Homo-oligomer: A and B are copies of this chain.
Amino acid sequence: MENTPLQAAIIGAGNVAWGLAPALEKGGMVTIKRVIARSMESASALASALGHNVEASTDTRGADRDVDLVIVAATDSAVEPLARASAGSQAIWIHTSGSVDTTVLAAASPRYGVIYPMQTFTRGVATDLSDAPIFIDAASPELADLLTRIALTVSANVRPADSAARRRLHCAAVFACNFTNHLWDIADGIARRAGSSIADFMPLIDETLRKAKAIGPHAGQTGPARRGAEGVMELHRLMLSPADAEIYRLLSQSIAKAYEQD
């Protein structure tokens, strides 16, 4: 098993599958043999992109046929039903989700685990995983060791995290990545009403991130809420939609609270 790549099936052909499958293949310890998705079109697109003779299928029942490893990179809510429908599988089952318990996969096989890459994937955008943290959980120390070695072919930063820790990390990632990105989208909308766009804010965003890396986000905080500039905040809220004004109010309040001891 050490020298021959593990034969794998991946269930899912969404953002995570598109990001992870090529990286695993490139790592050399895993060969993707089959892509299973809800539609044959999605399955075929990823199968073809993997660039050799990969089977495309919509049949989740046959997911583990002739493979050593099944990688469930599907919607969170699909993981448990998929595992239950594959009871008695001889393969190793892993999922890639931040918020699904590891043990959910015990329904499929006694050999199960998680490879959770802390990265954002978008189909069609090449993603560098080489320094992204990857968190591992597994049903046994031996399997944890195997999954760690597989993950190390993708990233230099591999660490254990149980279901509870992984859920926290995922939640933190939602703040650090998803919510942050959405604030940029809101900023874009406001800026466009002044003849500008988010592109003009990139030097500011770059500097904000550079400072967060250099001195940490807590020490780097600036702006009206940090200064307690009530008049400015009131002016800003007045120009926003009710929904954006409420976000403004809540985040300003949260900033004020974070520095009230200063």
Contacts and interface: CB of A to CB of B under 8 A. Distances in A.
A198 B177 contact: no
Interface in A158-180: 161, 164-180
Interface in A174-188: 174-188
A128 to B, nearest CB: 7
A200 B246 contact: no
Contacts of A235: 99, 167, 171
B179 A251 contact: yes
A75 interface: yes
B212 A122 contact: no
A52 interface: no
A226 B179 CA distance: 10
Contacts of A185: 217-218, 221, 258
A255 interface: yes
A217 to B, nearest CB: 4
A204 interface: yes
Contacts of A75: 227, 229
A95 to B, nearest CB: 13
Interface centre among A76, A119, A201, A226 (most CB of B within 10 A): A201
Interface in A193-211: 193-196, 198, 200-209, 211
A231 B208 CA distance: 33
A125 B212 CA distance: 11
Contacts of A180: 180, 183-184, 205, 208
Q: Does more than half of chain A's interface fall in helix, strand or loop, or is it mixed?
A: helix
B182 A176 contact: no
A212 B248 contact: no
B184 A217 contact: yes
Given A99-B236, A131-B203, A255 B182 contact: yes
10 shortest interchain CB distances as A-B pairs: A178-B223, A168-B194, A176-B187, A172-B190, A184-B217, A175-B187, A165-B194, A185-B217, A171-B236, A172-B191
Interface of A: 15, 75-77, 98-99, 118-122, 125, 127-128, 131-133, 157, 161, 164-188, 190-191, 193-196, 198, 200-209, 211-227, 229, 231-232, 235-236, 239-240, 243-244, 246-248, 250-251, 253-255, 257-258
6 contacts: A179-B247, A180-B183, A181-B222, A182-B251, A185-B258, A246-B250
Given A15-B222, A176-B183, 7 more contacts: A99-B224, A118-B200, A125-B214, A174-B236, A177-B204, A181-B217, A243-B254
